[in-house]
Amino acid sequence: MKACVLDKPKLVRDQPLEYRDVDTPQPGPGELLIRIRACGVCRTDLHVVEGELRVRKSPIIPGHQIVGEVVELGQGVRKPKVGERVGVAWLNSTCGECAYCSTSRENLCDKAEFTGWTRDGGFAEYVVAPADFVYELPETFDDHQVAPLLCAGIIGYRCLHRCEIRDWRGAKLGIYGFGAAGHIAIQIAKARGADVYICTRDKERHQSLAEELGATWVGTTTEPPPAALDAAIVFAPAGEIVPAALQALDKGGTLVLGGIHMSPIPQLQYKDLYWERVIRTVANNTREDGRAFLKEAARVGVQTHVQMFGLHEANDALIALKHDAIKGAAVLVVDR
């Protein structure tokens, strides 16, 4: 099969992914072989490729927003069936037995495996995945629309949950960084009744998309919103945004950091944390997050804005992502 393989982390400007022939994987017990139709390109893929996340498997095929068709069942698998469309996300497997797994916190499992980081992912024609960790996908979404939902959407959904807003009607939510996750999260938040304030540096693509999607206000990442925020989410991997986001919170407000990697956070002033403001992070996701999000996304009619690339153009997609040149989300289309 054809795949985009990372032999050694490098800056994306150096075209680190090699498009080449590799052996098609074979499903083991409890696994599926999936023919990939589309795979979203995530900022986490960028962190893997450029080495900001430590190497866990080498060589590695990145990609963890996979949409495909089941073509073979491993031993013991009864469902999904051959021919069904499924999704594969970042959380690839967990031990199922530890204190985290047994208390609905499988996203924190010490033995978790991750698609495109510790196990080969979706920048390829085929992938193997555990049957218990794939998602049934709503029929209302086509392949390229649903791909970004499988990480950008699910993580955005978990970030919204971690905001701990009891009543979203009239709540004031700030979103810092407006790429794939932000442009999905705003649609869920607005459907729940929130007013959404967008802070993002890119005017040509991200600010214009925020306006198209009905943001209450749009400004730069350091510009104070015109109202105190009940909660804010930082999707951009830029630690320097954190102090500004904290200062924008109302008393008792929550700041959620939604990335797996972030540049250093500057020294904070206690006055910005005072009045019971809270900072919390989001780590991975649970399968229940994914299932609940996909149902809500289908119900409210989330629309993903995508820019499509061929599988052989994965390096180009990562370069565009790094330079904020994607309006919405990037998706690799395998048969393009």
Give residue-wise pLDDT tens across range 151-186.
999 999 999 999 999 999 999 999 999 999 999 999
What gap in Å lies between CA 128 and CA 113, rounded to an integer?
13
Give residue-wise pLDDT tens across range 235-261.
999 999 999 999 999 999 999 999 999
Say if residues 70 and 82 touch (Cβ distance below 8 Å): yes
Please, which pLDDT band fits residue 102 given cuts at 50, 70 and 90? very high
If one compares 177 and 335, the residue with the highest pLDDT of the two is 177
The reply to whether domains 2-151+284-333 and 154-281 share a CATH topology is no
Q: Where in the chain are the domains?
A: 2-151+284-333, 154-281
Please, which pLDDT band fits residue 104 given cuts at 50, 70 and 90? very high
What gap in Å lies between CA 212 and CA 206, rounded to an integer?
10
Residue 204: predicted pLDDT: 74
Is the predicted pLDDT of residue 289 greater than 90, yes or no?
yes
Residue 203: predicted pLDDT: 73
Average confidence score pLDDT of the chain: 96
What gap in Å lies between CA 40 and CA 308, rounded to an integer?
9
ω into 59 cis (within 30 of 0): yes
Say if residues 21 and 144 touch (Cβ distance below 8 Å): no
How, if at all, do strands 172-176 and 195-199 pair?
parallel
Give residue-wise pLDDT tens across range 42-101.
999 999 999 999 999 999 999 999 999 999 999 999 999 999 999 999 999 999 999 999
Q: Which two tokens stand for residue 304?
A: 């993903």
- Statement: the pTM of the whole predicted model exceeds 0.85: yes
The secondary structure element, H or E, covering residue 6 is strand 2-6
Residue 255: predicted pLDDT: 98
* CATH class of this structure's domain 2-151+284-333: alpha beta
* Distance, CA of 68 to chain centre: 18
Is the predicted pLDDT of residue 146 greater than 60, yes or no?
yes
Please, which pLDDT band fits residue 335 given cuts at 50, 70 and 90? confident
Is the predicted pLDDT of residue 202 greater than 80, yes or no?
no
* CATH code of the region 154-281: 3.40.50.720
Is the predicted pLDDT of residue 267 greater than 70, yes or no?
yes
Please, which pLDDT band fits residue 336 given cuts at 50, 70 and 90? low
- H-assigned helices in the chain: 43-49, 143-146, 152-162, 180-192, 208-212, 241-247, 270-273, 287-300, 314-322
If one compares 327 and 102, the residue with the highest pLDDT of the two is 102
Share of the chain above pLDDT 70, in %: 100
